[in-house]
Amino acid sequence: MARRRQASSSRLREATRLALVGALAAVLTLGAGPAQPSSAGHVSTIDEATHRMTVTDHGRTVMTFTVGFGKSHFRTPSGTFHVLGKNEVIRMTSCSANITCNPRDPNYYALTVHWAVRLTSAGVFVHAAPWDHAIGQADTSHGCIHLSTADAHRFYDFSRVGDTVIVKNAGGPSGS
């Protein structure tokens, strides 16, 4: 009889422990509400009308850059985004972006890209584009936002996951 009570008590303790672990996990993930930006003071506004990016920290402008946007059939989406991640170096291909996997297609690309700040899970980034000699003058990307290598490095170093990035007047499908 004592052995049954001991086994029953042990099962009850284990069940209680698992319930508490489950409740804690629920509170930490679901109960916390929607994800909030981790750095509410960092807000970047990128405007296709001016081809300018203004980076602020708690309302104070800390950087401005000339930028490039998506070309006519690959418009950069307008909207409010939050930085999802950062890559010092990333391989970007037209195949992974669901554009084309055919190397003979004029929209095919396979590039090693530096200082990439991810804005969408679909693959819109702010990144260095040393091959783009028309930044600020013509839109040549497949939807990403192009910066010079030096500017992209500065923006990458400043940015944190959760930062707010507002893209306006870009003409692509809304991202917010």
Give the catalytic positions in this structure.
127, 144
Beta pairing partners, 172: 77
Picking from 103, 102, 96, the residue whose alpha carbon sits closest to that of residue 122 is 96
Query: Considering only CA atoms, which of 109, 102, 101, 114 is closest in space to residue 143?
Result: 109
Kindly calculate the radius of gyration of the chain based on its CA atoms and give it in whole angstroms.
23
C-alpha span between 70 and 152 (Å, rounded) = 17
Give the CA distances from residue 14 to residues 9, 11, 19, 28, 73, in Å, rounded to whole numbers and listed in that order: 9, 5, 9, 21, 58
